[in-house]
A and B are shown apart, each in its own frame.
Chain A
Amino acid sequence: AQSVTQPDIHITVSEGASLELRCNYSYGATPYLFWYVQSPGQGLQLLLKYFSGDTLVQGIKGFEAEFKRSQSSFNLRKPSVHWSDAAEYFCAVGSNAGNNRKLIWGLGTSLAVNP
């Protein structure tokens, strides 16, 4: 079955600390992988995506993610967290097969940042 698992429901880090949010997926086809961020009361915004090539991808706001096929993972990282990074983070997987535009979403990880 196709699925995305974000093992951590909630994470709290101190401002300036490093961050890693975990994402594991189960997907039959070659996956396209995404991280989206949702600030309170807002819609989701794309942080970064992986289709092919270099397994370390850079995104907006200083985020990066690494695709590890052997571990079926696509973890999101940031070296130094800012208070404004407090938000909900969603991992998603999809494919470019045919005209299929459905993404499979994780349940999200809520990030709190302590001053």
Chain B
Amino acid sequence: DAGVIQSPRHEVTEMGQEVTLRCKPISGHNSLFWYRQTMMRGLELLIYFNNNVPIDDSGMPEDRFSAKMPNASFSTLKIQPSEPRDSAVYFCASSSGTGTAGELFFGEGSRLTVL
């Protein structure tokens, strides 16, 4: 299995630009999670989907952030417009089952730098 695949691995952009991060979950997993990791705040859950439906987006910082999951094999996290404080590593993870019992499988992350 190829695991969770994220792209791009690194992104450097200027303030105000649109950023799109992509994720391909493990085939057969029914849940997908977007996390943000920073030194100051640690690992934060932004949003998660069950069966392609957004279940909890309370962690999305503000309207500049949006996430979609058009099908079971693809999800995007978009930031528009981007700001320097959005600089972080963004992780996508997928899981199967229900509740929190299922193991999370993380991608290698997308490191975003907003200048």
What is the interface residue range for chain B against chain A? Answer: 20 to 34
Q: Does B55 lie within 8 Å of A101, measured CB to CB?
A: yes
Q: Does A102 lie within 8 Å of B56, measured CB to CB?
A: yes
B contact face: mostly helix, strand, loop, or mixed: strand
**Which of the residues B50, B91, B103, B107 comes within 8 Å of A49, measured between beta carbons?**
B103
Q: Does B93 lie within 8 Å of A102, measured CB to CB?
A: no
Count of A-B contacts with CB under 8 A? 67
Encode contact with A along B9-30: 1 for CB under 8 Å, 0 otherwise. 0000000000000000000000
Q: Does B100 lie within 8 Å of A95, measured CB to CB?
A: yes
**Which of the residues A45, A100, A106, A107 comes within 8 Å of B99, measured between beta carbons?**
A100
Indicate whether B114 reaches chain A with its CB closer than 8 angstroms. no
Residues of A39-97 contacting chain B, CB below 8 A: 41-46, 49, 51, 90, 94-97
A-B contact pairs, 24 of them (CB 8 A): A32-B101, A36-B104, A41-B108, A41-B109, A43-B106, A43-B107, A44-B91, A44-B104, A46-B103, A46-B104, A49-B103, A90-B43, A94-B100, A96-B98, A98-B99, A99-B55, A101-B33, A101-B50, A101-B56, A101-B98, A101-B102, A102-B56, A102-B100, A103-B45
Q: Which B residues fall within an 8 A CB radius of A?
A: 4, 31, 33, 42-43, 45, 48, 50, 55-56, 91, 93, 95, 98-104, 106-109
Known: A101-B50, A101-B56, A105-B43. 20 other contacts (CB 8 A): A42-B108, A42-B109, A43-B4, A43-B93, A43-B106, A43-B108, A44-B91, A44-B106, A49-B103, A51-B101, A99-B50, A99-B98, A99-B99, A100-B100, A101-B31, A101-B48, A102-B45, A102-B56, A103-B45, A106-B42
